[in-house]
A and B are shown apart, each in its own frame.
Chain A
C-alpha cells in the first residue's frame, strides 16, 4: 500500500516537474508546480510529517503559489521568446544535469547504510504538538529570528514594489 501510494504520487510529482520545465507559458508552469507541491504533501504525510504536509498545502501551494499566479496575471506575462544568447546553457546544461543526477543516485545507492524501509506510521513525532514543543523550546531563538526575517522581507517587498524604482 505504501509503495503504491509512493509510486503514484512520486510519478505525479516527477511528471508535474517535467511539465514545469517543458511548458513555455508561466501559468502552466505555476499550475504544474502546485501539482508537485500537492503530491509532495502526500509524501510528507507518508513520512510522518502531518504538520508539514498541512503547511506545505496551506503556505506553499496556497499562499506562495497564489502570489506567483497573481504576479503572472498582473504582468500579463506571455509565452517566452526563443533566444540563442545563452547557447552554452542549453548545450551543456542538460548533459551536465544528467551526469549530476547519475552521480547523486550513485552516491545514495552506495553510501546509504542498509536500513528498513519507510512505512506509514513509522515516525510519529511530526504532529503539530511535537513540532510546536521543539520549535518553542530548543529552536526558540531561530524561530524568533525568522519572524524578523519575514518582517524585513515585507518591508523589502513594499520598498521594491513602489513606483519610483
Chain B
C-alpha cells in the first residue's frame, strides 16, 4: 500500500527546483522592486522544501530546524528589505528596478 500511494522523493526535489527557477525568473524578468523581493521569498521557500524533503529522507529533524532558521531570517530580511524599499521610494518616487543603476562602474 505504501509503495502504491507513496510519492518518489525526486518529485519533491524537482518541485523545489521548479519553484526556485520560477523565483529566479521573477527576479530577472520583473521590474518592480516589490515583486523582485517576493521572488526572493519564493526562492527561499523552494529551498525550505528541499530541506524538509531531505530531512524526511534522512529521518533527521535538523532540516526542519534549518528551515525554521530560514524563516526567521526571511522575516528579518522582509522587515529590513521593505524598509529599504520605503526609503528608496521616498527618495526616487519610483519602484522601477532599472531606475536604480548607480552601482555601475
Please report the C-alpha to C-alpha distance between residue A131 and residue B71 in the assembled complex, in whole angstroms: 15
Please report the C-alpha to C-alpha distance between residue A82 and residue B98 in the assembled complex, in whole angstroms: 10
> Given A55-B68, A150-B72, are A118 and B29 also a contact pair (CB < 8 Å)?
no
A68 touches B84 (CB 8 A): no
Enumerate B49-100 residues with CB–CB distance to A below 8 Å: 49, 52-53, 55-57, 59-62, 64-65, 67-69, 71-80, 82-87, 89-91, 95-96, 98
Q: How many residues of B contact A (CB 8 A)?
A: 74
B96 touches A118 (CB 8 A): no
A97 touches B25 (CB 8 A): yes
Give the A-B pair count, Cβ closer than 8 A: 249
A30 touches B86 (CB 8 A): no
Q: Select B24's contact among A75, A97, A152, A153, beta carbons within 8 Å.
A: A97
B83 touches A156 (CB 8 A): yes
B12 touches A149 (CB 8 A): no
Chain B residues within an 8 Å CB radius of A49: 52, 55, 64, 67
Chain B residues within an 8 Å CB radius of A116: 2-3, 6
Interface residues on A, range: 35 or more
Enumerate A106-141 residues with CB–CB distance to B below 8 Å: 108-109, 112, 115-119, 122-123, 125-126, 130-131, 134-135, 139
B56 touches A139 (CB 8 A): no
B65 touches A157 (CB 8 A): no
The interface of chain B, by Cβ under 8 A from chain A, is: 2-3, 5-15, 17-19, 21-26, 28-32, 34-35, 37-39, 41-42, 45, 48-49, 52-53, 55-57, 59-62, 64-65, 67-69, 71-80, 82-87, 89-91, 95-96, 98, 101
